[in-house]
């Protein structure tokens, strides 16, 4: 652990998984050639399809998923740690799917998986109503993962609006918080930068947030602006490209300890009660 180069891959994922695999592979290879040792892709790397019926026809059990196997082989070939922001898998004993991050070692093994806990059930004012819980089963556990680079706390997209998740991850050892996302254009313009910087400031952690960007085949439009913030809440890398992109950032985990030493809020909580008058 110490210093390393991280990359965010930004995509405009479409409907066909094989085409998306080819795009993601090209961008991951680009990041590796630029020197990245840790590379993260956005939520729904494998497919963006608002039609749940069509989407279910293209998913597999995790152990049989061809995209995951391809990404495991890619991580091995490139000798990088690879976070696939999320893929959709069949969920045990549920008609719904799992929206799952997959963290892959440079040897191709699965270090950890994380199922998105908070479902995007909202009306944001862009002409669409989102009911993610009708398609995806929410996860029930937070996940910390050890890598050669740092201890990661995993999350996905809408989780970003629930600060207690990130605080508990940091209090239990996370140095870097990952938040692969597919923020809508409306919510991204309003809240993306503020929320990511707030999570970094509150926890004294790096935040790595690869994002979907652009107009997708299924009609949705996502905000993009993949970015990396440091533990002080400063943006150290950001994509200003509308569509596909790769950004890189130098990470120094010593900064996490330094910032938490300056403002030790994680260890200074005081118990309190709420009095309603």
State yes or no: is 157 an active-site residue.
Answer: yes
State yes or no: is 277 an active-site residue.
Answer: no
Exposed/middle/buried for residue 275 (C-beta within 10 Å: 0-12, 13-18, 19+): exposed
DSSP-assigned letters across all residues of 246-257 = EEEEEEETHHHH
> Pick the catalytic residue: 157, 179, 238, 244?
157
In eight-state DSSP terms, residue 17 is H
State yes or no: is 116 an active-site residue.
Answer: yes
> Which residue in this structure is represented by tokens 């998913």?
59
Alpha carbon distance 106, 81 (integer Å): 5
Name the 3-class secondary structure at 135: coil
> Pick the catalytic residue: 8, 102, 116, 185?
116
The tokens of 223 are what? 């905000």
Look at residues 150, 71, 64 and name the one whose alpha carbon lies nearest to residue 108: 71
The answer to whether 212 touches 220, Cβ cutoff 8 Å, is no
Alpha carbon distance 205, 258 (integer Å): 10
Residue 127 falls in which region: left (phi positive, over 0), alpha (psi -120 to 50) or beta: left
Q: How far is CA 231 from CA 8, 36, 103, 192, 197, in A?
A: 17, 20, 22, 17, 9
> Pick the catalytic residue: 8, 43, 179, 185?
43
The answer to whether 43 touches 157, Cβ cutoff 8 Å, is yes
Strands (E), the chain: 3-10, 38-40, 81-90, 97-104, 110-115, 121-123, 129-131, 144-146, 151-154, 176-178, 206-209, 213-215, 221-223, 227-229, 235-238, 245-252
Active site residues: 43, 116, 157
């Amino acid at each position: 652990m110490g210093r390393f180069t991280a990359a965010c891959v930004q995509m405009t994922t479409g409907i066909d998984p094989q085409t998306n695999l080819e795009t993601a592979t090209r961008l991951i290879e680009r990041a590796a050639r630029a020197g990245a040792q840790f590379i993260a892709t956005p939520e729904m790397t494998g497919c963006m399809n608002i039609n749940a019926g069509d989407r279910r026809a293209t998913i597999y059990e995790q152990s049989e998923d061809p995209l995951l196997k391809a990404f495991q082989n890619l991580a091995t070939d490139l000798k990088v740690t690879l976070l696939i922001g999320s893929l959709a898998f069949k969920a045990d004993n549920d008609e719904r799917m799992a929206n799952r991050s997959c963290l892959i070692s440079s040897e191709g093994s699965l270090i950890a998986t994380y199922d998105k806990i908070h479902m995007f059930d909202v009306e944001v004012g862009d002409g669409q109503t989102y009911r993610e819980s009708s398609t995806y089963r929410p996860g029930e556990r937070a996940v910390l993962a050890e890598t050669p680079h740092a201890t990661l706390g995993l999350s996905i997209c809408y989780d970003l609006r629930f600060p207690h998740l990130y605080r508990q991850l940091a209090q239990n050892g996370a140095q870097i918080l990952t938040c692969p996302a597919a923020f809508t254009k409306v919510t991204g313009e309003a809240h993306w930068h503020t929320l990511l910087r707030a999570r970094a400031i509150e926890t004294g952690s790096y935040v790595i947030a690869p994002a979907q960007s652009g107009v997708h085949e299924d009609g949705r439009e996502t905000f993009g602006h993949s970015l990396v913030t440091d533990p002080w809440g400063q943006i150290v890398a950001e994509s200003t490209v509308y569509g596909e992109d790769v950004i890189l950032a130098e990470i120094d985990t010593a900064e996490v300890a330094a910032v938490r030493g300056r403002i030790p809020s994680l260890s200074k909580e005081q118990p309190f009660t709420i009095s309603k008058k």
